[in-house]
Amino acid sequence: MATSTDDASPRDRLLDAAMELFYRDGVSLGVEALCRAAGVSKRSMYQLFGGKDDVLAASLERRMPAYGQRFGLGTQGPRAPREQILYVFEQLEQASTEEGYRGCPFLSALVELKDPAHPASVVALRAKAALTGAFREQAERGGAHDPDLLARQLTLVFDGASARAGAGAETLQGLTTSTATALLDAAGVT
């Protein structure tokens, strides 16, 4: 496990451990295992967070910037809208080949928790809405006939592909980019 340095704060050690363990082992991970991995007492954890649910939510919140950066979300870089959307799927295909890939961490949390009001679900739903929003923005810029529908379709492909690859049921190489290309063509995105 990639742990924080010894001089990291207990809060940082908890969040670092939570990011890794909840992603790898699921949200049912116990408080004791989390605290042991972080090198933090349960008492300290409860002083820093209201409970495990709050640690999970904070760990997902902490993951959002790097996740968005990896997929180029929220950037108005040099890519044309179509290229930017396809870039997201190229990155998904690449991520799915990395050791320890378990799918989208936000979708995983939503599926496991099954409660949209859970603090971690609120964060995960916001992350998924940001993905759909980024797709919608690029679809509008690219002249899609129905940007909202296209954004939802692209999110569906992204989530379905990441879930299947994360479960080891599918290899994504070339699959998501070709599917996204077909959707972009049908929507008239240039």
Per-chain mean pLDDT for the chain: 93
Q: Which two tokens stand for residue 122?
A: 């609120």
Count the Cβ atoms, other than its own, within 10 Å of residue 13.
20
Amino acid at 79: R
The contacts found for 43-52 with CB under 8 angstroms, 24 or more apart, are 44/10, 45/10, 45/14, 48/10, 48/11, 48/14, 49/14
Domains for the chain: give ranges and CATH numbers: 8-59 (1.10.10.60), 71-187 (1.10.357.10)
CA angle 87, 89, 90 (to 5 degrees): 60
Question: Could you give the count of Cα atoms lying within 13 Å of 64 in the half-sphere of its Cβ?
Answer: 19
pLDDT tens digits for range 14-73: 999 999 999 999 999 999 999 999 999 999 999 999 999 999 999 999 999 999 888 887
Q: Rounded CA gap, 78 and 175, in Å? A: 25
Task: Give residue 104's pLDDT.
Answer: 97
pLDDT tens digits for range 64-102: 999 988 888 766 678 899 999 999 999 999 999 999 999
Q: Rounded CA gap, 106 and 110, in Å? A: 6
Q: Which two tokens stand for residue 111?
A: 């599926």
pTM of the model: 0.91
Q: What is the DSSP letter of 1?
A: -
Q: Please give the average per-residue pLDDT across 102-117, as a whole number.
A: 96
18 close to 59: Cβ distance less than 8 angstroms: yes
Task: Give residue 3's pLDDT.
Answer: 46
